[in-house]
């Protein structure tokens, strides 16, 4: 099929490359000419495992191309809207200016029968408004939210848990759902659930999924606070809870909390939309989820300050990690970098290292010290803080090796990802989050 993908950020670039790998003829469109040039030359503008291979294959096959001309969307059977919906400046609501601009530019190129499939995360009610705007073209709007995780984006796009497609309950809507089923035919044939809903439900599924995940993380981080006050161990607690299949162990990783370009801004946008709908109280708990999450960053900083005897001024601190999570170079609302910035603000001599995110971090926070090599960051450190659980730190760094490099054997494990017994046995003062 012929597809256009409008917006080539994390979501759109991966979607375009993945759809081409399924055999579709895809044009990816973005207003950012630098991003287009990078993608067109086969180089991913951000770190995402497997994306470069998919880009190379797609470009070589001739089934994938990138452009900044919206006119090139003309003739596609499906136009996927994959532009960003960041937090609005000065508020909590989603900023829909890129969605609106994309529709404005696309409108003149739509033909009767075209399907416009929204993938961006939007406040409920947005799709109905967009459907009304394209009505005159006799194209049909459906909402097809995306649940991919950064670092697993290719995997999640090609083998998702489920497809959700929201459409109007009329003949055009039914036909459009059929078109989407055809786009995803291989995964659907392999048994991936394909749920058809109305537009509002499809929009809500995405917001609710991210709200649930954020709540689960903040729940275990709230338990970490109780564990700290009572002498319990939140990691053992999470293991024990996780064996209950009704609860499950995933997203019960206590630590410095969630960040990134999605969960934080999505729970805020969700709450802001609920307020607009007059149902703010229904999701009032999301405010608590947000504050618990942010409190864990304070806690990590406090652990470092306490471990260093109450003062970090002039002390050298190795910060392992800058990305908001491993397998990503994304530093948007990264708890890891936030901890580094706060320690720097207290006068510490902070040296940050990360396998993928140093360039992004250095551009955003030039006041921090950086080391490309992990061992260079560790050298002569008075304390070590692990804030992103990359394998290089979690699995490959032995306490003996680190111990030979540092000045002080103090480690704060902001992700509860180390074997505390092994580090203690090697003479380290180990501090976890919510752990004994």
C-alpha span between 397 and 407 (Å, rounded)? 16
By rule CB under 6 A, what string of x and - marks binding of each residue 223-252 to ligand UGA?
A: ----------------------------xx
Give the nearest residue (CB) to ligand UGA: 253
Long-range contacts for 279-288 (Cβ within 8 Å, ≥24 apart)?
A: 283/211, 285/215, 286/211, 286/214, 286/215, 288/218
Give the strands of the sheet with 383-386, arranged side by side.
Answer: 369-370, 349-353, 316-320, 383-386, 410-413, 429-432
State the minimum distance, in angstroms, from the CB of residue 2 to ligand UGA.
26
Catalytic site includes residue 417: no
Query: How many Cβ atoms are within 10 Å of 185's Cβ, its own excluded?
Result: 13
Rounded to 5, what percent of the chain is helix, strand, coil?
45, 15, 40
Q: Which of 12, 45, 166, 260 binds ligand UGA (CB under 6 A)?
A: 260
Among 64-72, 79-87, 124-132, 142-150, which window interacts with ligand UGA (CB under 6 A)? 142-150
Ranges within 183-212 binding ligand UGA (CB under 6 A): 210
Q: DSSP 3-state assignment of 384? A: strand
**321 near ligand UGA (CB under 6 A):** no
Among 93-101, 173-181, 261-269, 426-434, which window interacts with ligand UGA (CB under 6 A)? 261-269
Q: DSSP 3-state assignment of 416? A: coil
**Residue whose pair of structure tokens reads 């994304």 in the numeric block:** 330
**258 near ligand UGA (CB under 6 A):** yes
CA 68 to chain centre: 25
For ligand UGA, which is the closer residue by CB, 297 or 374? 297
State the minimum distance, in angstroms, from the CB of residue 321 to ligand UGA.
10
State the minimum distance, in angstroms, from the CB of residue 114 to ligand UGA.
25
**259 near ligand UGA (CB under 6 A):** yes
- Catalytically active residues are 262
Binding residues for ligand UGA, per CB under 6 A?
A: 121, 146-150, 210, 213, 217, 251-253, 255, 257-260, 262-263, 266, 324-325
């Amino acid at each position: 099929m012929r597809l256009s993908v409008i917006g080539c950020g994390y979501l759109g670039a991966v979607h375009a490359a993945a759809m081409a790998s399924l055999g579709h003829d895809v044009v990816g469109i973005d207003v950012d000419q630098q991003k287009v040039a990078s993608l067109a030359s086969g180089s991913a503008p951000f770190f995402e495992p497997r994306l470069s291979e998919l880009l190379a294959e797609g470009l070589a096959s001739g089934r994938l191309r990138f452009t900044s001309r919206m006119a090139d969307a003309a003739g596609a059977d499906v136009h996927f809207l994959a532009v960003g919906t960041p937090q609005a400046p000065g508020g909590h609501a989603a900023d829909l200016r890129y969605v609106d601009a994309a529709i404005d530019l696309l409108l003149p190129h739509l033909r009767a029968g075209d399907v416009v499939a929204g993938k961006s995360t939007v406040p409920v009610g947005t799709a109905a408004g967009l459907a009304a705007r394209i009505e005159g073209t006799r194209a049909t709007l459906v909402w097809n939210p995306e649940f991919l995780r950064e670092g697993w984006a290719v995997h999640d796009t090609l083998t998702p848990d489920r497809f959700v497609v929201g459409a109007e309950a009329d003949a055009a809507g039914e036909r459009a759902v059929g078109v989407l089923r055809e786009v995803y035919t291989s995964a659907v044939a392999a048994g991936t659930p394909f749920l058809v809903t109305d537009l509002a439900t499809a929009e809500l599924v995405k917001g609710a999924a991210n709200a649930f995940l954020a709540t689960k993380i903040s729940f275990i981080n709230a338990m970490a606070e109780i564990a700290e006050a009572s002498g319990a161990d939140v990691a053992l607690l999470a293991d024990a809870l996780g064996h209950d299949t009704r609860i499950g162990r995933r997203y019960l990783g206590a630590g410095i909390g969630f960040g990134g370009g999605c969960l934080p801004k999505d729970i805020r946008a969700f709450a802001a939309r609920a307020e607009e709908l007059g149902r703010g109280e229904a999701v009032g708990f999301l405010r608590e989820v947000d504050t618990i999450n942010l409190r864990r960053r304070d806690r990590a900083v406090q652990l470092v300050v306490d471990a260093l005897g109450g003062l970090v001024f002039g002390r050298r601190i190795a910060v392992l990690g800058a990305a908001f999570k491993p397998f990503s170079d994304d530093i948007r609302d990264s708890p890891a970098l936030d901890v580094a910035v706060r320690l720097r603000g207290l006068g510490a001599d902070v040296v940050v290292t990360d396998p993928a995110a140093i360039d992004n971090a250095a551009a955003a926070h030039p006041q921090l010290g950086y080391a490309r090599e992990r061992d260079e960051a560790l050298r002569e450190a008075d304390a070590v803080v692990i804030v992103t659980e990359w394998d290089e730190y979690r699995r490959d760094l032995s306490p003996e090796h680190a111990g030979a490099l540092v000045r002080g054997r103090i480690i704060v494990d902001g992700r509860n990802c180390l074997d505390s017994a092994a580090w203690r046995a090697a003479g380290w003062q180990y501090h976890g989050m919510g752990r004994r």
